[in-house]
Chain A
Amino acid sequence: MTSAAVRAETRAQPIVRRKRRRPARLVLHVFLFVTALIWLVPIGWALFTSFRSYTDTAIHGYVSIPHGLTLDNYRTAWDQADLPHYFLNSMIIAIPAIFFILLFASSVAFVVSRLSYWFNVPMLIFFTAANLLPPQIVLTPLYHIYLRIPLPTWLSDSGLVYDSYIGLIAINVAFQTGFCTFVLSNYMKTIPKSLNEAARVDGASIARQYLGVVLPLCRPALAALAVLQFTWIYNDFLWAIVLMKSGSKMPITSALNSLQGLYFTNTNLIAAAALLVVIPTLVVFALLQRHFVSGLTLGASKG
């Protein structure tokens, strides 16, 4: 908004504007404030419930003044359900997956945006469309393919791609590479080509132009995508439900399904478990919100 234009406008009709604006602004603020409060209720309520002992809520009801707050629910959920183990599983899957997604996506994006081939646009569509498909369309054959590909037991204790970390990493990489390719190719188009030309005149190979010139300039986009992909892979539920069998190998989000009946037997425990599981994504929310949002909007608004 250009301040000169605003000033000119207010000078032209100062009184009318003031009078018209004030009550409308107030209504707006009240509306936003109330909506924001309602928006916070589910998480606030989960927090409140998680700090109360089951006996307290059983005697006084859930909507009551708490008689003492406790961390017991967190302790029980953490120990009994062995949550640290599932956190580790999620990391074993998410970290290599993010590495390969960004490696693949940036190399395809580099070729598409820096070099001119007839297949540039078809290839971008090939990758982007793969990310837009409903995951269910690959699920049935993938399950049967995974069951039939052997892996050495030091890579997968099931001896198969099915029920292995590798299988989950692979499908996450395949599914998410398209989105990142799309975002990164748009981003790389904004980097002046003259940089590559100069590097080439200096005798730099394609590999050097990619690693030494373009990738360092993409750091903001790569950071944004890494944050976004971490959240998405961490939050993914479907792949492990179908492509894994052993509960002990499941990433945490998928493990919730079997844990809820076994260990999370009352509402207070469910609340504590849910809040423990969201900690990594809340860290993203609190510290990396800007990256997350820019990752989302890079995909949406550039083009």
Chain B
Amino acid sequence: MRKVAAETAVAGRADGARPRHRAVRLSLRDRVTVGVMVGVPLLVVAGLIWLPTALSIGLSFTNWDGIGALGHIPSTWVGGLNYHQIATIYPPFWPALRHNLYWLAFLTLVATPFGMFLAYLLDKDLRGTRIYQSVFFLPVVLSLAIVGFIWQLIYSPTQGLLNNLFEDPQHNHLIDFLGNPKINLWAILVAVGWRHAGYIMVLYLAGLKSVDPSLREAAAIDGASEWHAFRTVVFPAMKPINIVVAVVTVIEALRAFDIVYIINNGRNGLELLSVLVTDNIIGEASRVGYGSAIAVILLTVSLVPISIFLWTRFRAEEASA
């Protein structure tokens, strides 16, 4: 019953006609082809993404040492002990969580709005808008590892631009931007924002272009101020892109890793949850259970934006399917 409904709806969407053609059955050979086309990618993604995800959740409840045979894993079950210990006696956990939250707050309150603002300005038909777009877009093609490299040249105590510009390097007023745990996270976040704002600008600009211009003209003729028109007309019309921007922002904040790892392996003020996971795999005092539990905490937080995105994206398809 449901399948029939789905077939008519899907067939009717793209060219709006002839649902009865859908009823044609595929030959055996075609069914095999479809099976391979779907089956191989399915196995790859299931085996390398979903299976390890399930295993991470399982391992987070064990104290498996990572060496013995896989058959021994069930006997190392410890329940919620890892989670309890992480929260109580694992010193880097709370700082790491706090830093991830600062990261998220900075992107949400500063970098993302700035990228949106740039997009809004560049959406006006200004002279040179393409050049400006290219300039703001430039950092987006760089990896965060390279961003870390490039900003070391700015922040370095003796050889960096800022200290050489504003302080006399012969005196002892040098600011160790990346070494001082009180400020290094914020110094890094400026570098991260440099790249993130351009990313958001690109996404948002595409969204603005897709807003029906007559909406804005109508608002202008009604005498609405620019800010008012943006808030009440343009912004609501861009709901799909707003969700994408929000999801990208949260996911970037949770995935952050490269830049702190390249600066100082994510220590001394730059601890992040992602770094703790890596430390518990290849670090000296690695504990499979801890690493997995921290990854599960990251996953749990990530599920919020992921669900929102999937829900808003696929609800429409479900409704029509």
Contacts and interface: CB of A to CB of B under 8 A. Distances in A.
Contact of B49 (A104, A175, A277): A175
A297 interface: yes
Given A144-B66, A178-B45, A62 B38 contact: no
A170 B48 contact: yes
A142 B52 contact: yes
B14 A45 contact: no
B299 A42 contact: no
Contact of B41 (A108, A139, A284, A293): A108
Contacts of A191: 14
A253 B261 CA distance: 12
Interface string A94-138: 000000000011011011000111101101111111101111111
A118 B6 contact: yes
Most chain-A CB neighbours within 10 Å: which of B6, B136, B149, B305? B149
B134 interface: yes
B146 A138 contact: no
Contacts of A241: 261, 278, 282
B255 interface: yes
Q: For B10, B282, B316, which residue has the most chain A Cβ atoms within 10 angstroms?
A: B10
Contacts of B295: 134, 136-137, 139-140
18 contacts: A32-B122, A120-B10, A124-B317, A129-B310, A133-B306, A134-B254, A134-B274, A148-B70, A206-B34, A235-B146, A238-B258, A253-B143, A277-B146, A281-B141, A282-B141, A296-B203, A301-B241, A303-B313
Interface residues of B, number: 124
B18 interface: yes
B10 A260 contact: no
Contacts of B121: 28, 31-32
Contact of A138 (B22, B52, B66, B255): B52
A194 B281 contact: no
B207 interface: yes
Which 4 residue pairs are nearest across A and B when measured between Cβ atoms? A235-B143, A174-B48, A297-B206, A141-B55
B72 interface: no
Contacts of B142: 235, 278, 281
Interface stretch (B86-94, B102-110, B153-161, B181-189): B153-161
Dominant secondary structure at the A interface: helix
Given A285-B134, A303-B240, 7 more contacts: A63-B161, A116-B3, A120-B10, A148-B70, A194-B15, A206-B37, A256-B262
A242 interface: yes
A237 B277 contact: no
A111 B37 contact: yes
B159 A267 contact: yes
Contacts of B42: 108, 123, 126
Contact of B30 (A124, A127, A129, A205): A205
Contacts of B7: 116
Given A63-B164, A107-B37, A237-B258, A116 B22 contact: yes
Nearest to A170: B48
Dominant SS among interface residues on chain B:
helix
B72 to A, nearest CB: 13
B257 A237 contact: yes
A71 interface: no
B60 to A, nearest CB: 9
Nearest to B273: A136
Contact of A301 (B207, B217, B258, B310): B207
Given A123-B38, A140-B281, A253 B206 contact: no
Interface residues of A, number: 113
Contacts of A229: none
B153 A270 contact: yes
B106 to A, nearest CB: 18
A224 to B, nearest CB: 12
**Residue picked from B52, B150, B169, B316, most chain A C-beta under 10 Å:** B52
Contact of B314 (A62, A124, A277): A124
Given A57-B159, A104-B44, A141-B55, A285 B261 contact: no
Contacts of A235: 142-146
Given A28-B121, A104-B40, A256-B145, A300 B273 contact: no
Contacts of B49: 130, 133, 138, 174-175
A67 interface: no
A63 B153 CA distance: 12
Interface string B234-266: 000000110010010001001101100110000
Contacts of A62: 159-161, 164
B53 A137 contact: yes
Interface in B153-199: 153-154, 156, 159-161, 164-165, 169, 191, 194, 198
Interface stretch (A1-9, A81-89, A152-160): A1-9
Interface in B26-63: 26-27, 29-30, 33-34, 37-38, 40-42, 44-45, 47-53, 55-56, 59
B235 to A, nearest CB: 15
Contacts of A193: 11, 14-15
- The interface centre, meaning the residue of A111, A231, A300 with most chain B CB atoms within 10 A of its CB, is A300
Contacts of A136: 257, 273-274, 277-278, 294-295, 298
